[in-house]
Amino acid sequence: MQLLLLFYGTVVPVNWAWHLLTRPIAPGWTLVLVLDVIVAMLAFVSVALIRQGHFRIAIKLFVGASLASLMLAYHRLGTNALLIDQVMVILTLVISGLVLGRRALWTVFGILLLVFAIGYVADANNTERSEYWARNSWRNAPGLVLSYLLIAIILDRTLTALRESLADANARRRELQQEMAERERAQAQLIHAQKLEATGRLASGVAHDFNNILDVILGFSKQRHRIGEADDLRTQASELADTLEGVEIAARRGTAITRKLLSFSRSDLLRLEVFDAGQAIAELQPMLRQLFPPDVRVAYTAADMPLPVRLDRSEFELMILNIAANARDAMPDGGRFTVTTTRLADDAIEIAMADSGHGMDERVQRRIFEPFFTTKSAADGTGLGLAVIRDLITAGGGQIDVSSAVGAGATFRIHLPLATMQVLPEEHGKSAMAL
């Protein structure tokens, strides 16, 4: 619209300038010249108003000025003004209908009929015109009115169809926006549900690990009865110290679980370090013995050389305790649980943990490392333990497999790559090992 107004405001004065340079102005047309120049100036004013955000006001100003100019020109020249003002008439119809709506279109059409009537009255009262000129003007009046009526009807139906299409498009857009909003709400609810599910699974896994730790602490606490049976106070003190040391180790394992739980919200990485897997398992022996009931014999066969691995030590220890807890559940009537560490020839180590429990069939063996698969009840297991163990071992470059048969127990074999151990200078009174 700004381009149209700029074009009109520029072309009309240029056209009049060309006209004046080629021939003199006809008598009575000076008023038309002045009116056209005024309307051209108002076209630039309308552009300025549009740029300031007053769109409808600018259009009303231009259309009103154009109609006023037509009315004065027809009053002065009669229907002779049609010789140069056809573009102005059609332009006012198009702009009013396109921008201001149907009511404005038909209002402008009615005003144009009034303008034409003023022109015909001016022709009838013009004594300089012959009677034939007046009669010829009135004969042309119906055709002229019908022509502009047809233009107005076409504009009306076209603009109505465009506005209906626009309304349908806006309705579809609102429906699409509503559907998108509903999908966003559904997605937010799904994410919330997934968060709750993940939190529940995390809580179940942590509760499972804490349950193993508490079983160890309960095993040590039950030793108080045997301590009281000893006659020698020194023996009682020694056994009490061993028991408290076991409780302390178990509590440290619980602290490690708590640290992992706190770091979960911060997305911390694993605290990788190089340590001797054989020594770590040896230090777990008191906890392993307390994890099992008295009718289960626990044996550990260690390799005769260091077995350095690079893992998160707390995760490694929880892994051993988790497999041991599964073995305990598989031997409700007692049995034997053995842990064997071996250094293989291909720069790897093997940790074999075997039990004499009820074993597993082939179907269970195929799915045992799947997340959330468990043969236990919902209160006893989450199905996350072995899946997490497999991910931990795989991240460390190793692998885990199981061999079992129904009624013949199960054996878990963990293969881990060897890491080069290097003793670093002591820091804060403690030595560390790294790659």
Domain boundaries, the chain: 2-178, 222-268, 272-434
Region 280-286: what's the mean pLDDT?
Answer: 86
Q: Are 355 and 335 a contacting pair, CB within 8 Å? A: yes
Give the DSSP letter string of 301-345. Answer: E--SS--EEEEEHHHHHHHHHHHHHHHHHT-TT-EEEEEEEEE-T
CB atoms closer than 10 angstroms to residue 294: 9
pLDDT at residue 119 in the model: 77
pLDDT at residue 45 in the model: 92
Q: Which of 61, 14, 55, 17 is nearest to 42 (CA)?
A: 61
Residue 429 clears pLDDT 50, i.e. is over it: no
pLDDT at residue 417 in the model: 92
Q: Are 221 and 240 a contacting pair, CB within 8 Å? A: no
Residue 162 clears pLDDT 80, i.e. is over it: yes
Region 169-186: what's the mean pLDDT?
Answer: 87
Q: Are 32 and 84 a contacting pair, CB within 8 Å? A: yes
pLDDT at residue 256 in the model: 64
Of all residues in the chain, what percent carry a pLDDT higher than 90?
9
Instruction: Note the pLDDT tens digit of each residue in 145-156.
Output: 788 788 888 888
Region 135-145: what's the mean pLDDT?
Answer: 70
So what CATH class is 272-434?
alpha beta
- Claim: this prediction has a pTM higher than 0.85: no
Considering only residues 250 and 130, tell me which one the structure prediction assigns the higher pLDDT.
Answer: 250
Considering only residues 343 and 433, tell me which one the structure prediction assigns the higher pLDDT.
Answer: 343
CB atoms closer than 10 angstroms to residue 340: 17
Residue 191 clears pLDDT 50, i.e. is over it: yes
User: Which of the residue ranges 70-74, 75-79, 146-150 would you say has the lowest mean pLDDT?
Assistant: 75-79
Query: pLDDT grade, residue 9 (50/70/90)?
Result: confident
Residue 257 clears pLDDT 80, i.e. is over it: no
Region 29-52: what's the mean pLDDT?
Answer: 87
What's the chain's average pLDDT? 78
Instruction: Note the pLDDT tens digit of each residue in 341-388.
Output: 999 887 899 999 999 988 888 888 888 887 766 766 655 555 566 777
Residue 414 clears pLDDT 90, i.e. is over it: yes
Of all residues in the chain, what percent carry a pLDDT higher than 70?
75
pLDDT at residue 349 in the model: 92
